[in-house]
Amino acid sequence: MNGALVADGLTKRYRKTVALDRCSFAIPERSIVALVGPNGAGKSTLLHCATGLVRPTEGTLTVLGGQPGDPTLPRVGFVAQDAPLYRDFTADELLKMGGKLNREFDLPFARARLVDVGIPLDRPTDRLSGGQRAQVALCLALAKRPRLLLLDEPLASLDPLARREFLSALMDGVAEEHMTVVLSSHLLTDLERVCDHLMVLRSGQVQTLGATDELLAKHKRLIGPPQPRRPKITGVEQIVSAARAERQIELLVRTNGDILDPAWDQYDVSLEDVVLAYLEPRAGEALLDLEVAGA
């Protein structure tokens, strides 16, 4: 498989928990991926595996065709959760550090960017706002001119205005580069505006990965009569979630063809619906199984 980030059976076990459970996927190059999942789904572990901060227990992860860590780090930009920076360093000193630690580092570009977004270069970062710190961290990562940019919950600690500014700064930085970007978040709403791919992670397993427009086209909401047993509908590949109302049943399904059964009304879904359906801990199946048992 080709791609900027390719996993094959990627597994990471900690002493008691399984953070990543046999993940296999390929993130295509030049995509902007929203990596969505609840807290503890394994998003950070996945990104840390891609930077070499964490070693997988089993399976492999290929980053830009190479091994994660030292061999590929020069081409990977990473902003860790909460954008850690040396608190007593000024933004200018952090950029200087970036210049010293990276063979390729576009210092003039980085300085100009920070000035553009109005960040004082000579103030220690612990006296900057959370939004400004996030901007500095992003700028450090972008100045490496990476081919893969990984952002771990970049918006979590930012207020709505700072979120907007961060995202527009990100899109500016990404626009002219041929860069693959992976942003993680536990909320899709933050990222919907910027991403063109969606990856849903739950309990360490990849639920779905695809281009957003394809995902939207493939998933349908079906509303039909209550079923005595698990419904078999032509054109449905998988029932992702199910909910029962008094006189009807509502399904969110992944299709693999047209649904022609007149018993079901079809509706389009939003990306948010898709994410929520995949994040529901299989309540849909349980509900349907229950009906089968009762029948």
Nearest Cα to 111, choosing from 140, 134, 89? 140
Query: How near is the Cβ of 185 to other proteins at its closest, in Å?
Result: 18
Residue 5 or 54 having the CB closest to other proteins: 54
CB-based contact 55:70 (threshold 8 Å): no
**Which of 2, 16, 39, 103 forms a contact with other proteins (CB under 8 A)?**
103
C-beta of 69 vs 224, nearer to other proteins:
69
Do the Cβ atoms of 146 and 135 come closer than 8 Å?
no
CB under 8 A: which stretch of 58-66, 136-144, 163-171, 190-198 binds other proteins?
Answer: 136-144
Sign of the CA dihedral running 114, 118, 124, 129: negative
Nearest-CA neighbor of 94 among 104, 84, 103, 80? 84
Long-range contacts of 13-20 (CB under 8 A, 24+ apart): 13/57, 18/204, 19/45, 19/204, 20/45, 20/46, 20/49, 20/56, 20/204
**Shortest Å distance, C-beta 98 to other proteins:** 7
Task: Based on the shown chain and the rule CB under 8 A, indicate whether residue 85 belongs to the binding site for other proteins.
Answer: yes
Find where tokens 């626009």 sit.
175
Rounded Cα–Cα distance for residues 91 and 114 (Å)? 8
Q: How far is CA 290 from CA 222, 251, 284, in A?
A: 19, 15, 10
Among 10, 61, 80, 149, binds other proteins (CB under 8 A): 80
Q: What binding mask, one character per residue, do residues 273-292 give for other proteins by CB under 8 A, x or -?
A: --------------------
164: its two tokens: 């907007």
The dihedral sign for the CA sequence 46, 50, 53, 55: positive
30 counts as binding other proteins under rule CB under 8 A: no
Site string for other proteins, 34-73 (x = CB under 8 A): --------------x--xxxxx--------------x--x
* Closest approach of other proteins to the CB of residue 43, in Å: 14
Among 74, 130, 224, 235, binds other proteins (CB under 8 A): 74
Q: Is 106 a binder of other proteins (CB under 8 A)?
A: no
Q: Is 87 in the site for other proteins (CB under 8 A)?
A: yes
Is residue 104 involved in binding other proteins (CB under 8 A)?
yes
Residue 146 or 210 having the CB closest to other proteins? 146
Residues in touch with other proteins (CB under 8 A): 48, 51-55, 70, 73-74, 76, 78, 80-82, 84-87, 89, 93, 96-98, 100-105, 137, 140, 144
